[in-house]
C-alpha cells in the first residue's frame, strides 16, 4: 500500500475538501477486484466480487468521503487503535472522526451489519455524531436482556430498551421474516412509517391475508436503515469508472 503514496493521500484530502455533505452518511465495505496475486487481498465466495482488496469507506449519496485500506495479512493499514475497541470498531471511529462538526451541523451515520456496538455509538455521540444499524447479537454489542428469537413473536412486532446506562443508545428488536436487532442513537420505538411491501413466507401471511401487496406501518428505524444503507453501493460504480 505504500506504493499508492503520495497519490492516495492527495485524492483523500481533495475528496474531503471539495464536498458539501448531506446529513445521511453510510459506512460499509468495498471490494476492489484484482486480477493478480497479493497477500493483502481477501477471498469471499459469497460476494459479487469474490476476490479483491477490501476498503472500509464512508460515503454520502455515492460520494466516497473517507476510506481505510484493510489487509488480509496485516489487518488495517494506518489504523489508530482506540482503547477498548476491536480493530473494526477503531476503523469505523477513525473514518467518522473526520466529519466536520458544529453545534448546528449533525450527521446520521448508517452502518453495515455488525459494525455498531454500544461503546462505538456512545463514543460517536460524545463527538456530536449519531448513528445506528443492524447489530451483531453478542455480549458486547447488544443487551442480552432483549434477545428473543423464538418462533412465536408476531410479525412486525418491535421491542427495545436502553442499551447503556445513560439511555442515549436504543437497543431494538424487530420481528420480520427473522429477528432483526438494531442499535441506534437516532431513533425511538414510537416512530412508524406507512410502507408498501409484499408478503413473503408463512410467518406474515396472517398479517397480510390474501393480498399480495399491503401498505403496513413499519418502524422508522427499519425504513431509515433500508433507505440509507446503500450509499457505498451507489459509490462502487463511480469508483469503478
- For the chain, give every domain's residue range: 2-240
Query: 144-170 burial by CB neighbour count: b if 16+ within 10 A, else e?
Result: eeeeeeeeebebbebebeebbeeeebb
The C-alpha atoms of residue 126 and residue 179 are separated, in whole angstroms, by 30
| Mean of per-residue pLDDT scores for the chain | 79
Closest Cα to residue 225, out of 26, 4, 69?
26
CA distances (Å), 199 to each of 76, 116, 188, 234, in order?
42, 29, 26, 27
The C-alpha atoms of residue 114 and residue 132 are separated, in whole angstroms, by 10
Query: Which pTM value belongs to this model?
Result: 0.79
Closest Cα to residue 134, out of 86, 178, 191, 69?
178
pLDDT value for 109:
93
pLDDT value for 202:
55
Q: What is the mean pLDDT of residues 89-102?
A: 89
Q: Distance from CA of residue 26 to its chain's centroid?
A: 6
Cα torsion 187, 192, 198, 199: sign: positive
pLDDT value for 235:
75
Q: DSSP letter string over 137-165?
A: -STTTS-GGG----TTSPTT-EEEEESST
pLDDT score of 192 more than 50: no
pLDDT score of 165 more than 90: no
Q: What is the dihedral of CA 27, 199, 150, 163, to 10 degrees?
A: 30
Phi, psi of 214 (to 5 degrees): -140, 145
The C-alpha atoms of residue 152 and residue 176 are separated, in whole angstroms, by 12
The neighbouring-strand residues paired with 24 are: 108
Convert the pLDDT of each residue in 122-160 to its tens digit: 899 888 889 998 887 765 667 777 766 656 677 777 777
| Beta strand residue intervals within the chain, DSSP E | 24-33, 42-43, 51-60, 63-71, 75-76, 108-111, 130-134, 158-162, 170-175, 179-184, 192-198, 213-219
Q: How confident is the model at residue 194 (pLDDT cuts 50, 70, 90)?
A: very low
pLDDT value for 204:
54
Owner of C-alpha cell 489508530 = 80
Cα torsion 122, 124, 130, 136: sign: negative
Amino acid at each position: 500500500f505504500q506504493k499508492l503514496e503520495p497519490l492516495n493521500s492527495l485524492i483523500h484530502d481533495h475528496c474531503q475538501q471539495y464536498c458539501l455533505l448531506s446529513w445521511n452518511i453510510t459506512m460499509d465495505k468495498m471490494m476492489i477486484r484484482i486480477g493478480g496475486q497479493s497477500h493483502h487481498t481477501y477471498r469471499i465466495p459469497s460476494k459479487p466480487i469474490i476476490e479483491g482488496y477490501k476498503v472500509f469507506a464512508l460515503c454520502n449519496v455515492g460520494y466516497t468521503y473517507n476510506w481505510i485500506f484493510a489487509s488480509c495479512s496485516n489487518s488495517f493499514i494506518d489504523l489508530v487503535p482506540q482503547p477498548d475497541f476491536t480493530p473494526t470498531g477503531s476503523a469505523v471511529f477513525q473514518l467518522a472522526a473526520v466529519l466536520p462538526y458544529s453545534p448546528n451541523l449533525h450527521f446520521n451515520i448508517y452502518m453495515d451489519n455488525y459494525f455498531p456496538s454500544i461503546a462505538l455509538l456512545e463514543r460517536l455521540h460524545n463527538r456530536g455524531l449519531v448513528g445506528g444499524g443492524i447489530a451483531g447479537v453478542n455480549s458486547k454489542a447488544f443487551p442480552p436482556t432483549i434477545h428473543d428469537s423464538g418462533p412465536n413473536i408476531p410479525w412486525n412486532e418491535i421491542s427495545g430498551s436502553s442499551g447503556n446506562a445513560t439511555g442515549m443508545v436504543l437497543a431494538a428488536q424487530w420481528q420480520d421474516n427473522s429477528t432483526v436487532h438494531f442499535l441506534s442513537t437516532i431513533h425511538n420505538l414510537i416512530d412508524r412509517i406507512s410502507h408498501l411491501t409484499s408478503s413473503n413466507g408463512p410467518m406474515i401471511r396472517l398479517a397480510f391475508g390474501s393480498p399480495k401487496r399491503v401498505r403496513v406501518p413499519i418502524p422508522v428505524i427499519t425504513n431509515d436503515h433500508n433507505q440509507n444503507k446503500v450509499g457505498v453501493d451507489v459509490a462502487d460504480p463511480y469508483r469503478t469508472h
